[in-house]
């Protein structure tokens, strides 16, 4: 009885406890649902467009290591007597690139691979592959290298022309790759600070950084050649340069527009070089910093006889107001138009002559030096005869002479000559043509000394050499 009584009393208690437990369990479930929802929302908020863009890009970004030979001066009190004045040493550098074709074609900066004797590419998974240089263009600072492969990941491509100032962009690269063990690219984010930026050229600068994309995304040494992409993960530029007093990023990074980079890459893949177009006119050069600023057009100072500008009806003292719809505020605006101009392209110019405006179509042609007959002397020194067209193309002051269009490094070291020099005399003999110099050199005997006269940057100089 008692046990039954106890059982009878305990049953409802258990039931009540069970009900309570059920209620508590219901509360737990009810409380967990918002928690899970919040976690899901947090995960969603973390997976931003930037994260998605990086996931699309990163597999196709590569690290580039190069070994290049650098010319250095020999510091020795005996240098003049027993030791060559210059020697070469092997230096190593690094940069970034990205795959644009599944067969291993990689886009990067020319300055990353310039002079490289050996190029090694490291993929994102750590695979190291030897690369070959397809071609490079110092003027645009774009180069193409290639590794052996099939079905390799490639980057999505966008259009820099559609960029909006203020929109998000990401820069991927391998800064200080020699000091970091991982092979995945690093990521920095920022906004498009400006477009169409022209960077004033510095002394000795080979590349023309015109119409650049400016960003405050951090770009550091080793980022060169890497992609700048929009929030959709589409590449819109090639990270190339920074403005900095320290060498590190201060929020002033610049990228080459992807359209220009791809146009150069296509030419390098097709013919191994970029054919620069010729307009056949020169405009007033800037004399100081202030003249780079806005003006009311550019004054034509010379027109090559029979050249593209002459055929378009342009005359000296005409003012170039715009080109292809772009207002020409300063000299760099015109250089930017020419940088993207190909042989056979037409540029629509608005000119002003006095108070009269006119629209003229200028058909760009090959540079005169490209089609000129070449004479080779000293085994690897190529010359062309100076003509009126070549004078206009190169800004040569001398009306006669032999223009150096190609010279091997060893010959340049031995003679002091460099590309662009105009040889105008040998001893007391006038050099009127490239053939003249070849004949004069043939007359020399081994061990005979001679003096060679050149025009360089509008100035006349000479150097004494010994024929061997």
Mean pLDDT along residues 230-234: 97
Q: What is the CA radius of gyration of the chain?
A: 32
Based on the fold, state whether residues 309 and 386 are members of the same structural domain: no
Based on the fold, state whether residues 249 and 291 are members of the same structural domain: no
pLDDT at 165 over 90: yes
Query: Is 111 part of the annotated catalytic residue set?
Result: yes
Q: How far apart are CA 370 and CA 343, in angstroms?
A: 12
Looking at 67-76, 90-99, 202-211, 318-327, which range is the least confident one?
67-76
Q: How far apart are CA 8 and CA 6, in angstroms?
A: 5
Let me know if residue 403 belongs to a domain: yes
pLDDT in tens, 385-415: 998 888 888 888 898 999 998 887 778 878 8
Query: Is 141 part of the annotated catalytic residue set?
Result: yes
Would you give the distance in Å from CA 33 to the centre of its chain?
Answer: 53
Based on the fold, state whether residues 170 and 291 are members of the same structural domain: no
Burial label, 239 (beta-carbon count in 10 A; 0-12, 13-18, 19+): buried
Looking at 68-77, 123-132, 334-343, which range is the least confident one?
68-77
Would you give the distance in Å from CA 390 to the centre of its chain?
Answer: 27
Q: Show contacts of 318-322: CB within 8 Å, 24+ apart.
A: 318/351, 318/352, 318/353, 319/351, 319/352, 319/353, 320/283, 320/349, 320/350, 320/351, 321/297, 321/349, 321/350, 321/351, 321/352, 321/357, 322/349, 322/350
Last residue of a domain, one of 333, 366, 399: 366
Confidence band for 20, pLDDT divided at 50, 70 and 90: very low
pLDDT in tens, 293-330: 556 789 999 898 888 999 999 999 999 999 999 999 88
DSSP designation for 78: T
Based on the fold, state whether residues 388 and 287 are members of the same structural domain: no
pLDDT in tens, 86-99: 566 778 889 999 99
pLDDT at 10 over 60: no
Based on the fold, state whether residues 304 and 375 are members of the same structural domain: no
Read off the CATH number of the domain in which 141 is found: 2.40.10.120
Based on the fold, state whether residues 416 and 456 are members of the same structural domain: yes
Assign 77 to helix, strand or coil: coil
Based on the fold, state whether residues 384 and 302 are members of the same structural domain: no
Based on the fold, state whether residues 283 and 426 are members of the same structural domain: no
Higher pLDDT, 31 or 440: 440
Based on the fold, state whether residues 147 and 232 are members of the same structural domain: yes
Confidence band for 17, pLDDT divided at 50, 70 and 90: very low
pLDDT at 15 over 80: no
Q: Which DSSP string do the residues of 186-201 spell out, in sequence order?
A: EEEEEEEEEEEE-PPP
* Residue 270: per-residue pLDDT: 94
pLDDT at 39 over 90: no
DSSP designation for 224: T
**Residue whose token pair is 């004069």:** 440
User: Looking at the 3D structure of the chain, how many domains does it have?
Assistant: 3
Let me know if residue 188 belongs to a domain: yes
Closest CA to 427 of 416, 409, 411, 443: 443
pLDDT at 1 over 70: no
Q: How far apart are CA 387 and CA 384, in angstroms?
A: 9
Q: Which domain holds residue 266?
A: 49-272
Assign 291 to helix, strand or coil: helix
Let me know if residue 39 belongs to a domain: no
Higher pLDDT, 198 or 200: 198
Which listed residue (63, 140, 193, 224) is catalytic? 224
- Beta-carbon contacts of 190 under 8 Å, excluding residues fewer than 6 positions away, are 168, 169, 170, 171, 215, 216, 217, 218, 251, 253
**Which span out of 8-12, 59-63, 201-205 was modeled with the highest average pLDDT?**
59-63
* Residue 178: per-residue pLDDT: 65
pTM for the structure as a whole: 0.75
Based on the fold, state whether residues 256 and 282 are members of the same structural domain: no
Based on the fold, state whether residues 322 and 207 are members of the same structural domain: no
Which listed residue (137, 141, 282, 436) is catalytic? 141
Neighbours of 418 (CB within 10 A): 12
**Residue whose token pair is 């760099």:** 332
Which listed residue (65, 94, 111, 140) is catalytic? 111
Confidence band for 11, pLDDT divided at 50, 70 and 90: very low
- Dihedral angle at the C-alpha atoms of 191, 138, 95, 102, nearest 10 degrees? 90
Confidence band for 68, pLDDT divided at 50, 70 and 90: confident
Last residue of a domain, one of 366, 398, 425: 366
Q: Average pLDDT of the chain?
A: 83
* Residue 162: per-residue pLDDT: 96
**Which span out of 176-185, 318-327, 375-384 was modeled with the highest average pLDDT?**
318-327
Q: How far apart are CA 158 and CA 164, in angstroms?
A: 13
* Residue 12: per-residue pLDDT: 40
Number of helical (H) and strand (E) elements in the chain, helices listed first: 10, 27
Let me know if residue 38 belongs to a domain: no
Confidence band for 7, pLDDT divided at 50, 70 and 90: very low
pLDDT at 257 over 50: yes
Based on the fold, state whether residues 70 and 198 are members of the same structural domain: yes
388's enclosing H/E stretch is: helix 388-394
Looking at 141-145, 199-203, 267-271, 410-414, which range is the least confident one?
199-203
Q: How far apart are CA 159 and CA 141, in angstroms?
A: 19
- Beta-carbon contacts of 388 under 8 Å, excluding residues fewer than 6 positions away, are 304, 305
Neighbours of 363 (CB within 10 A): 16
Read off the CATH number of the domain in which 343 is found: 2.30.42.10
* Residue 43: per-residue pLDDT: 67
pLDDT in tens, 100-113: 999 999 999 999 99
Q: How far apart are CA 87 and CA 83, in angstroms?
A: 9
């Amino acid at each position: 009885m008692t046990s039954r009584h106890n059982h009878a009393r305990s049953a409802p208690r258990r039931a009540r406890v069970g009900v309570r437990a059920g209620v508590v369990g219901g509360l737990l479930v009810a409380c967990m649902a918002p928690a899970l929802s919040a976690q899901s929302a947090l995960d969603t908020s973390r997976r931003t467009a930037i994260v998605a863009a990086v996931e699309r890009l990163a597999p196709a970004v590569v690290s580039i290591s190069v070994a290049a030979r650098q010319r250095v001066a020999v510091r020795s009190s005996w240098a003049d007597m027993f030791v060559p004045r210059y020697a070469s040493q092997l230096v190593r550098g690094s940069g970034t690139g990205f795959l644009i074709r599944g067969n291993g074609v990689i886009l990067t900066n020319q300055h990353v691979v310039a002079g490289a004797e050996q190029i090694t590419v490291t993929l994102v998974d750590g695979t190291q592959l030897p690369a070959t240089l397809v071609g490079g263009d110092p003027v645009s600072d774009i180069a193409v290298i290639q590794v052996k492969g099939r079905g390799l990941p490639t980057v999505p491509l966008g259009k820099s022309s559609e960029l909006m100032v203020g929109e998000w962009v990401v820069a991927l690269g391998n800064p200080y790759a020699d000091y970091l063990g991982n092979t995945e690219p690093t990521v920095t984010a920022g906004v498009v600070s400006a477009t169409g930026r022209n960077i004033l050229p510095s002394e000795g600068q080979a590349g023309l950084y015109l119409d650049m994309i400016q960003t405050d995304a951090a770009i550091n040494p080793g980022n060169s050649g890497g992609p700048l992409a929009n929030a959709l993960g589409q590449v819109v530029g090639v990270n190339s340069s920074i403005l900095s007093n320290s060498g590190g990023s201060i929020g002033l990074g610049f990228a080459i527009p992807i359209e220009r980079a791809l146009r150069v890459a296509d030419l390098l893949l097709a013919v191994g070089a970029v054919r620069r177009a010729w307009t056949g006119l020169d405009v007033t050069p800037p004399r100081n910093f202030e003249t780079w600023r806005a003006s009311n057009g550019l004054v034509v100072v010379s027109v090559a006889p029979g050249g593209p500008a002459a055929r378009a009806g342009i005359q000296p003292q005409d003012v170039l107001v715009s080109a292809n719809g772009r207002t020409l505020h300063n000299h760099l605006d015109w250089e930017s138009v020419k940088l993207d101009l190909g042989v056979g392209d037409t540029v629509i110019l608005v000119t002003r002559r006095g108070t009269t405006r006119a629209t003229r179509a200028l058909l760009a042609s090959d540079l005169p030096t490209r089609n000129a007959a070449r004479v080779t002397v000293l085994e690897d020194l190529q010359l062309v005869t100076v003509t009126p067209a070549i004078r206009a193309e190169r800004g040569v002051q001398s009306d006669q002479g032999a223009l150096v269009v190609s010279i091997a490094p060893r010959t340049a070291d031995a003679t002091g000559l460099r590309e662009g020099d105009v040889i105008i005399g040998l001893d007391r003999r006038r050099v009127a043509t490239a053939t003249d110099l070849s004949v004069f050199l043939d007359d020399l005997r081994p061990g005979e000394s001679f003096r060679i006269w050149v025009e360089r940057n509008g100035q006349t100089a000479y150097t004494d050499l010994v024929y061997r």
